[in-house]
Amino acid sequence: MSEGALRKELSAVGTDHEQGNLFIYLPAEKVLMAVDIVYPGWVPFTNIGMAEDIGEYVEHHDALLAYDFDVFVGGHVGRVGTKNDVEIDKASLKDLVTFTNEGRATVNFQEIAKNTGYENKWLLVKTYMDAVADHCATNKHQAGCRKIE
């Protein structure tokens, strides 16, 4: 799509934050915009940016990094970013997935059930999920948090 000398590329990318998200790329200016995937200088909003499809949300970091850009516009935050911001966010998500999977493999559901019982299933599941989240947060902290500037 061109408007005068300005050439724009719009890419429909599927579902990540929500159905219909677009990548907007200005190749001559080396500017890429993708709202609600990477938040330059910030961690994702609650529940991984309230993403509808976590798998696509994670995968779209690679799709973003395939573009040749210097400036990244993520929307909703007070500064624009760079390719480095996308790389930091991708690495942080990789850590989150790794530590969450470790927590799921480490936290013993049956031990939790011995303490909570099975009568209140919501309590059982919440206690289990909290224990997995605690494992993830503790290990992420011990591994060293990536600095976000």
- CATH code of the domain containing 99: 3.60.15.10
Residue 149: the pLDDT is: 47
Residue 83: the pLDDT is: 96
Domain annotation covers residue 19: yes
Residue type, 127: T
Burial class (CB in 10 A: 0-12, 13-18, 19+), 56: middle
Domain annotation covers residue 149: no
Domain annotation covers residue 148: no
Residue 4: the pLDDT is: 63
Residue 78, domain extent: 2-143
pLDDT in tens, 49-97: 787 778 888 888 999 999 999 999 988 777 899 999 999 989 888 888 8
Question: Where is pLDDT greater, at 51 or 25?
Answer: 25
Point out the least confidently predicted range of 7-16, 100-109, 123-132.
Answer: 7-16
Question: Where is pLDDT greater, at 87 or 146?
Answer: 87
How many domains does the chain fold into?
1
pLDDT in tens, 95-126: 888 888 999 999 999 999 999 999 999 999 99
Residue 8 pLDDT > 60, yes or no?
Answer: yes
Residue 27: the pLDDT is: 95
Residue 146 pLDDT > 80, yes or no?
Answer: no
Secondary structure (DSSP) of the chain: -EETTEE-EEEE--BSSSBT-EEEEETTTTEEE-TTT--TTSPPPHHHHH-S-HHHHHHHHHHHHTS--SEEE-SSSSS-B-HHHHHHHHHHHHHHHHHHHHHHHHS-HHHHHHHH-SS-HHHHHHHHHHHHHHHHHHHHHHH-PPP--
Residue 119: the pLDDT is: 96
